[in-house]
Structure 1
Amino acid sequence: MNSDTKTPANAAFDTMIFEWTVSGMDCGSCATKVRGAVERLSGVSDIEVLPMRERMRLTLDPSRTSPEKVEATVRKLGYGVSTADDTHGTGASSGHGKGDHSEASEEDHGRIGHAHDDPADRGKSWYQTGKGRLVIVTGALLALAWCIELLTSQDIGLWAFILACLIGVAPVARRAFAALRAGLPFTIEMLMTIAAVGALFIGAAEEAALVVFLFAVGEVLEGVAADRARASIRALSDLVPKSALLVENGTTREVDAATLQIGQVILARPGARIAADGEVTEGTSGVDQSPVTGESVPITRKPGDPVFAGSINAEAALHIRVTKASENNTISRIVALVEEAESARAPTERFIDRFSRWYMPTIVGLSLLVVLVPPLFAGGDWGTWVYRGLALLLIGCPCALVISVPASIASGLSSGARRGLLMKGGAVIEATAKIANVAFDKTGTLTAGRPVVTNVVPLNGTTEADILAVASGVEAGSSHPLAEAITTYAQEAGIAPLASSGARAIVGKGVEATVGDALAWVASPGFASDAGVLDDAGTDVAARMEDEGKTVVVVYREGRALGLIAMRDEARADAVEALRQLKVLGVDGVMLTGDNTRTAAAIAGHLGIDFKADLMPEDKVAAIRSIAREGVMMIGDGINDAPALAQASVGVAMGSGTDVALETADAAILRNRVTDVAAMIRLARATMGNIRQNVTIALGLKAVFLVTTVFGITGLWIAILADTGATVLVTLNALRLLRFNPEREG
């Protein structure tokens, strides 16, 4: 349970945010049941129940309802509940921490007797779990009853089936009445209990016992299917090794990877997984990043290059300086994004949730009409129509319908995460599937983002060395690609930067700093012209280089231009192929850039894409708005892209981008491959197609068996098979997305 956040609810009360692990939630109906019971408690608000994460988070006023009461409410429904720090190690400032449950609560927990409630079941074979034991017990009772009937008489066999049914339905009935006391009358457990007991009263004891057994089997299958979906997310966390080799004073020792601190140096041996995000300080080796980004080809990493936690060092030993704490490394961020994405529900999912709320009461009402109308108004047989009404009740559970969307979303998110495609929830997936236009930033997105200096043109009697000394002084410490190109070129030429201070970015135009004892600028030709320091001759030279697709900056001091520096950033190798794939998908592309029109035209002409140039950050936002009516995705990687990323229908940050861009964006591409844009759209469309299939399966089976039940073609045991079978089918269908390869066309 995490209660680190504390905010005042009003003048009278303080509220805190609590978080629990709730085990045994296998579908959306489980989450709805937990949410419905807990939100009725006084002082509870902002409740969020995530079945795929097995998490419940809420805001609670402890003075009105204690955390212990929340836990007791969940346990009474038949689910296991433990504080979130049991698995994540977060503290509980409320004083109600790990292992703080009362003895009475534990006894009550055990009395429920429901298979959901044992977190220790994880990782066990199905027959070792509580659900599995319930299947074995009910199956054995059913088989025993059949043997008794076969060896004795039908009358004695009847009592054996009654006993088998009552023993098997008892834990289900306990959960049903716990939910009823919590204000939730329409649960599958209540419908199951009514159907089983009702069948006993009309003499269908054998079928009632069979239905109880099939219900238990269905729960096992649901649990197995749901756990397979969760396993793909848990597998991401397991990529990071639990220990690391810390290098200190020339010696190494093994430490817990979670304790690594920024600045420490670790050793990654050949064939070992890298334990932290960091920067190589010593050694050169091929690093297999496929576990993190899905990139299949090992990438050579040398001193100064970044590496990801969970990557595999393939060739030689590397010394790596830790740059991110364990909770902030790339894998942790991926897991957090995938898990938190579950709360960003798709519009389709919200509609299905609203639909299911009146679907079950409607079925219950219809069942009552089936029981009453034919006998009262058409002389029908009471036993026949009560039986059909009970069978119809079992079709009333919306489990398959409710889980149809989140199961597909969870599988789609996990499939994407394994391939370096991160989407922050179902709403993003649904919006991505509808994308008709993609807007690309140029630098670092369509281009490699690593421009190199091609020309240094002195002006007004200066030398190349003078220009580079001033320019590298202005740009010292900047991580902007153009700044790095200038400083690298100066360093390779053996020119030391002049001492500088007070560097300040002029957004979209350049940088100024005090170099030596006077101000100096590195800025765009337009800005320099406006400042009156670039004459017509200098402007013409800059224009000619820009016509060649180069980015030109002017280095100048107050009233005097020192020279021009031209740089070129080549298009990414896969950019042309990416745009072709988008065309095949029916998606148009446009390039948005702050570069001048000539440079933009040279790159756009090579790529065959429309463009808009000379854009300030606010101009990019306006450009996005102008095409947003058709659904637009924005791809960017810089701080100046953040407003446009937020404005777009879907904002996507390239993996090498800034933290600001990654946090602002709705999705991220970790492999820095432009073709992954098309892959992300294909994955989103496949996920939405899977959702449509699931909804069709869920509603189709319900409709078929509703009709066959009313006409007496199918009975109780077929009805329960239809319910649990549909849930298992939609879950297994959703799991197919885990094998979907979005990089494959067609």
Structure 2
Amino acid sequence: MSNETDSTANTSPDALACEWTVSGMDCGSCATKVRGAVERLPGVSAVEVLPMRERLRLTLDSSLTSRDRVETAVRGLGYGVSDAMADPDPAAENDHDRTGHVHNDPADRGKSWFQTSKGRLVILTGTLLAVAWTLELLTSQDIGRWAFVLACLIGVAPVARRAFAALRAGLPFTIEMLMTIAAVGALVIGAAEEAALVVFLFAVGEVLEGVAADRARASIRALSDLVPKSALLVENGSNREVAAAGLRIDQIILARPGDRIAADGEVVEGTSGVDQSPVTGESVPVTRGPGDTVFAGSINAEAALHIRVTKVAEDNTISRIVALVEEAESARAPTERFIDRFSRWYMPTIVGLSLLVVLVPPLAAGGDWGTWIYRGLALLLIGCPCALVISVPASIASGLSSGARRGLLMKGGAVIEAAAKSAHVAFDKTGTLTAGRPSVTDVVPLNGAVEAEILGVAAGVEAGSSHPLAEAISAHAEKSGTAALASNGARAIVGKGVEAMVDGALAWVASPGFATEAGALDDDGIREANALEAEGKTVVVVYREGRGLGLIAMRDEARSDAVDALRQLKVLGVEAVMLTGDNARTAAAIAGNLGIDYKADLMPEDKVAAIRAMAKDGVMMIGDGINDAPALAQASVGVAMGSGTDVALETADAAILRNRVTDAAAMIRLARATMGNIRQNVTIALGLKVVFLVTTIFGITGLWIAILADTGATVLVTLNALRLLRFDPERES
């Protein structure tokens, strides 16, 4: 669970942003404890804790508090801490055993459980417990009791140390404090054997929590490990091995058959099949040749490729995916925020209830003090909200990781929850439902113009534009041997066309409607344009001031998986609609083939209005991430189609990296599965609490059952959340 402080404390203009690696945050309240410990320090503000990434970020006025003081506060809670810049690899930090903590040491990563600090505590407390039982069996009950007292005190010491560190940080209601009170209280009332057993079971539970948390993090670290550490740099006709992290933009690298590609780049020489599944989840290799983009971590399957580096290591697609998934923790779901607020008053309530159990029966009904103190202590343990607090973030982290491995990026729990509630999906047409690669089908001269003149002017107006229609015109002109006329001052007329100075005079490439308003299209031209549009083609008019030169018709075929995608959405009970700025006749032809409702002739503001009309029921908008930015922002969930483009990864709430329309349904299935998993976890956490709270009050269950139930619930919800890592959102069920 991530936490961001709401602190509005004034900070010095000289305050600096600081970042640390914090190891061992693997239980539900860890982030809350770290935040609580540091945000109370003077000069600290904007605290952000990211457990998945093992990061602490804050703004620090060093004139009021030093970095060392911040680190001391975190270490006091039993966590490892180091400067994130000086020690970017958490595994490098291994000197925190002196704190006596039992959270995961970073040096423990990759070790068997019994080699970790948590594992050693389990072995120690288990051995002491076995020794105590042996002494009691071989000697006397009195000697055995003292052995149990010693086992309990040794085992609870590091837990108590962390409890009082949290207390000094203003966090009295922690599981460590409840454990300490319960263990010491049990010793006071003579239940030494159960006290020692509770300490042992608590240590076992922490090991299991740590193992489960590491499994969740491993799925993210595995993505980073896909990028090779070295690359073959091509220089002066020879190759030399260099560190992939040091590659610079525009350098040329060689990827041999079977190699993992070391950087995001563009193929400059060679043609080969490339397995992009590590990045996009696409299982079928795609052919890549000169001019095509490739991703770091992809596998070159067939022939050698020379690749020009286009992104440095920290900015490649995999690095950005990892950062997005990890930092998505800050975008918490409404359910998660509610659970967080609930847990803040839940713990004091449980403590108050425990006091009532201890005091009321003996004082009001003459009950036995020892019996009711015992039940009150058990109630303290069973009431710990660890399982409840971790139930939501564990599911969300697994859902985000599962999606990232399949090219489905969602930026946080809030996006997952909104996607799960989507009742409508609105699609842009060009580049979303269609392939986004239109080609020219017709060039129709008007008013005595010739095809070469039409294409020369049109290519001049569209020179330098990356719009799919502009690229289609330029490609057709080049193919026909017509050079673009010299142009300058190109200006887009939003939703209508483009104008530019071509050969010293204004020229336009615009929609038939706009051209008609400008007086450049007569009745014959309008009829010709209508006939072409009725065939499902997009038509633009090329004209000079007051004179139409000709029509250019283009067709963009629907994606091969579009029909199946719409079928899947219908099965999910989601209504689909196509929103396009194209004319109604072209839109009707494409929508008719796909079997989808449509709204055509939409300006950007019209798309926003259409989205707003559907928003009350929850609407997901899927577009190319560039032209549809306003609509994407208005939607409950804005989803960008695009294989790792900057816009696809940064502007929308979510991204579909594989450019497959069917992934819209897959994203909704994954979001619904994640929310279902959350509901299961909350039910497990609260259900077990209710059952054991009742049985504890009536004396049916005792201390060791209470801690076993609490630990068991935490492990159960974590393992249940990890099931999402195996969830296949493409499978219809």
Deviates more, 1:48-57 or 1:392-401: 48-57
Corresponding residue of 1:65: 65
**Aligned counterpart, 2:354:** 367
Decide whether the 8 Å contact of 1:701 with 1:722 is kept in 2. yes
Are the structure 2 counterparts of residues 656 and 486 from structure 1 closer, same or farther at C-alpha, using a change threshold of 3 Å? Answer: farther
Equivalent in 110, 130, 135 of residue 148 of structure 1: 135
Q: Is the 8 A contact 1:142 1:161 kept in 2?
A: yes
Change in 2 beyond 3 A, CA 1:9/1:216: closer
Q: Does 1:312 align with 2:296?
A: no
Question: 2:4 — aligned with what?
Answer: none
For residues 565-604 of structure 1, the aligned pairs below 5 Å read 565-604=552-591
Structure 1: tracts of 5 or more residues without a match: 1-7, 91-97
Say if 2:373 is the partner of 1:408.
Answer: no
- Check whether the contact 1:288–1:311 (CA below 8 A) recurs between aligned residues: yes
**Is the contact made by 1:508 and 1:594 (CA closer than 8 Å) also made in structure 2?**
yes
| Structure 2 counterpart SS, 1:489 | helix
Alignment deviations for residues 505-556 of structure 1 (CA, whole Å, 9 cap, x no partner): 2221111222222222211111111111111111111110001010011111
Q: Which residue of 2 aligns with 1:5?
A: none
The 1:626/1:560 distance shift into structure 2, 3 A limit, reads same
> Does the CA contact (< 8 Å) of 1:636 and 1:657 recur in 2?
no
String of CA shifts for 1:176-222, please: whole Å, max 9, x gaps: 11111111111111111111111111111111111111110000000
Match of 2:653 in 1: 666
Decide whether the 8 Å contact of 2:9 with 2:45 is kept in 1. no
Q: Which amino acid aligns with 1:722?
A: A
Taking structure 1 as reference, are residues 259 and 9 closer, same or farther at Cα in structure 2, changes over 3 Å only? farther
Structure 2 residue aligned with 1:301, among 288, 298, 316? 288
Q: Distance in 2 between matches of 1:648 and 1:519?
A: 38
Preserved CA contact (<8 Å) 2:578 2:598: yes
Deviation at 1:574, TM superposition (A): 0.6
Question: Runs of 5+ in structure 2 lacking a partner?
Answer: 1-7
Map 1:239-278; keep pairs closer than 5 Å.
Answer: 239-278=226-265
Larger CA deviation: 428-437 vs 373-382 = 373-382
Structure 1 pair 679/651, CA: closer, same or farther in 2 (3 Å)? same
Equivalent-residue separation in structure 2 for 1:554 and 1:241 (angstroms): 50
Partner of 1:3: none
Q: How does 1:153-552 map to 2 (within 5 A)?
A: 153-552=140-539
Post-superposition offset of 1:163 = 0.7
Per the TM alignment, residue 638 of structure 1 is displaced from its structure 2 partner at its CA by 4.3
Structure 1 length-normalised TM: 0.95
SS of structure 1 residue aligned to 2:628: helix
Moved more, 396-405 or 10-19: 10-19
Contact (CA 8 Å) 1:654, 1:670: kept in 2 or not?
yes
For residue 28 of structure 1, report the CA deviation from its aligned partner. Answer: 2.4
Q: Is the 8 A contact 1:112 1:175 kept in 2?
A: no
1:637–1:656 Cα contact (<8 Å) kept: no
Provide the C-alpha distance between the structure 2 equivalents of 1:572 and 1:440, rounded to a whole number of angstroms: 13
Are 2:40 and 1:40 equivalent residues in the alignment?
Answer: yes
Q: 1:657 Cα deviation (Å)?
A: 8.0
Amino acid of the structure 1 residue aligned with 2:43: G
If the length of structure 2 is used for normalisation, what is the TM-score? 0.97
Aligned residue number for residue 115 of structure 1: 102
1:409-448 CA-partner distances (Å, limit 9, x unpaired): 0000000000000000000000000000011000000000
Three-state SS of the structure 2 residue aligned to 1:116 is coil
AA aligned opposite 1:303: P
Give 1:336 deviation, angstroms. Answer: 1.3
Q: Verify the 8 A CA contact 2:11 2:45 in the aligned structure 1.
A: no
2:52 maps to what in 1? 52
CA contact (8 A) 1:271 1:315 kept: yes
- Post-superposition Cα deviations, 1:89-120, rounded to whole Å, max 9, x if no partner, equal 89xxxxxxx99x9xxxx7xx544211226221
1:10 deviation in Å?
Answer: 5.8
Provide Cα deviations, 1:249-280, integer angstroms capped at 9, x if missing partner. Answer: 21111111112122111111111111111111
The 8 Å contact of residues 212 and 715 in structure 2, kept in 1 or not, is answered as yes
Q: Percent identity?
A: 85
Aligned counterparts of 2:662 and 2:343: Cα–Cα separation in 1 = 39
Please give the alpha-carbon distance, in whole angstroms, between the structure 2 residues aligned to 1:162 and 1:34: 31
Q: d(CA) in 1 for partners of 2:542 and 2:291? A: 28
Letter in 1 for 2:418: A
Instruction: Give aligned pairs, total.
Output: 725
> Partner letter of residue 634 of structure 2?
Q
C-alpha contact (below 8 Å) 1:78/1:117 kept by paired residues: no
SS at match of 2:701: coil
SS of 1:611 mapped into structure 2: strand
TM-superposed CA distance for 1:55, in Å, is: 1.3
Amino acid at match of 2:593: H
Give yes or no for contact 2:644–2:657 (8 Å, CA) kept in 1. Answer: no
Q: Say which is worse superposed, 78-87 or 65-74, in terms of deviation.
A: 78-87
Q: Is the 8 A contact 2:262 2:296 kept in 1?
A: yes
Partner of 1:733: 720
In structure 2, distance between residues paired with 1:345 and 1:654:
23
Shift of the 723–11 alpha-carbon distance from structure 1 to 2, 3 Å rule, reads closer
Q: CA deviation at 1:87?
A: 4.9
Match of 1:619 among 592, 606, 609: 606
Letter in structure 2 aligned against 1:587: V
Name 1:684's counterpart in structure 2.
671
The Cα of 1:470 is off from its aligned counterpart by: 1.7
Greater mean alpha carbon deviation, residues 415-424 or residues 555-564 = 555-564
Superposed displacement of residue 676, structure 1: 0.3
Cα contact 1:642–1:660 (8 A) shared by 2:
no
User: What whole-Å deviation, never above 9, does each CA across 1:288-312 have from its counterpart, x for those lacking one?
Assistant: 1111111111111111111111111
